[in-house]
Amino acid sequence: MSRDLLPGCTGVLALADGTILQGIGVGAVGKAVGEVCFNTAMTGYQEILTDPSYMAQIVAFTFPHIGNTGTTTEDLEQVSGSAETAARGAIFRDLPTEPANWRANADLPAWMARRGVVGLSGVDTRALTRAIREKGMPHAVIAHDPQGRFDLDALVAEAAAWSGLEGLDLAKDASCLQPFVFDQGLWSWPEGYEKPADKPKYEVVVVDYGVKRNILRALTSVGARATVVPAKTTAEEILARKPDGVLLSNGPGDPAATGEYAVPEIRKLIESGTPVFGICLGHQMLSLAVGAKTRKMDQGHHGANHPVKDLTTGKVEIVSMNHGFTVDRDSLPAPVVETHVSLFDGTNAGIALKDRPVFSVQHHPEASPGPTDSLYLFERFAEMMDRKR
């Protein structure tokens, strides 16, 4: 594409291969480097942009009308870390419009500006998505300058020099610094967010690799008191709390890198006989702990419309997914049962151990954003804790 800036251009996306996409800048002024992925969800953009699993990534939304419902303080997924430990950029087909929703308390561009998220609108997101499908997720720099001043060669060079996500342990930055108890349940109309039970039925320790708020809400809603602990908490410290179960959370980065300190502790948790439930990054590291391997994906899975089959029931679910690494299903060892599989590309989407109360899934059963088809997995975890008792 041409390196000449078009009249009125205030935002650009500079890819490592030299491609320049031009448009109208949105949100924060400045620049951010990251990996570009596309997300096919039609709603839930605020949950997506505050999901720590998107740390060091720039999200291109395939749905053209993003921002119509504005933003609200109630829909933030991030629990720990700063705004930098979530998505760093966003790409839209159309310029976000004024919000039209009774829950909105800010428009999307102003909210992005406050969070430091750099945005770009007016881009052919279908062409960008097609390029990602054919060539993989590129390294890029997204930039916004109201005056339209860009050093395009320098931006391309910065994108080309970025090391990428492989080998990066980002969970330690997305994690909490101190343990805390989360005390909010799922949202329902018209009451709002549920209050936790006065006497919780289960004590669950959540290892925070970048946990989403609605995972904690779903746990609380099945009767658990969710105690969140930092990513580097040892198995001995976790077991000293005498939990009924342990949840390994979602999070950003390369599971093999985070696994250098997390996998030995996960193995100890498995050996203790304590029920363990892994989600997304937690699923990948649990798989590493039992002897499987993970690998980087070309396009990843990002959206709220992914078909997954539960092999234990035969049921097909539509789920929310967000991951750029996957468990190599051919590397799963004998004690492991594959429980879920993606019907898009046949990649692994869940495992369970034959001889331990341990299971995990690649997708996001808390369904934020996305359908609630797999919310039952929290009930399955609760039943596992009941049986252990």
Q: Which residues are catalytic?
A: 280, 364, 366
Location of structure tokens 């052919």: 124
- Greatest Cα-to-Cα distance within the chain, rounded to the nearest angstrom: 68
Supply the DSSP symbol for 257. Answer: H
Closest CA to 142 of 238, 250, 26, 293: 26
Residue 2 CB burial class (10 angstroms; 0-12, 13-18, ≥19): exposed
Structure tokens at 153: 């060669």
Q: Kindly report the CA angle at 341 between 254 and 136, in degrees rounded to 5?
A: 45
What are the residues whose beta carbons fall under 8 Å from the beta carbon of 329, sequence distance 6 or more? 338, 341, 346, 347, 348
Tokens standing for residue 2 = 């041409």
- Beta-carbon contacts of residue 233 (< 8 Å; ≥ 6 apart): 179, 207, 265
Sorted by sequence, the CB contacts under 8 Å of residue 29 that are 6+ apart come out as: 113, 118, 144, 145, 146
Residue 372 burial (10 A CB sphere; 0-12, 13-18, 19+): middle
E strands, the chain, in order: 11-15, 20-27, 30-39, 57-61, 89-91, 118-121, 139-144, 180-182, 187-188, 192-193, 202-208, 224-230, 245-248, 276-279, 294-310, 315-327, 336-342, 348-353, 358-361
Distance of CA 191 to the CA centre of its chain: 27
Contact 364, 212 (CB under 8 A): yes
Residue 70 φ/ψ region, left for φ over 0, alpha for ψ in the -120 to 50 degree band, beta for the rest: left
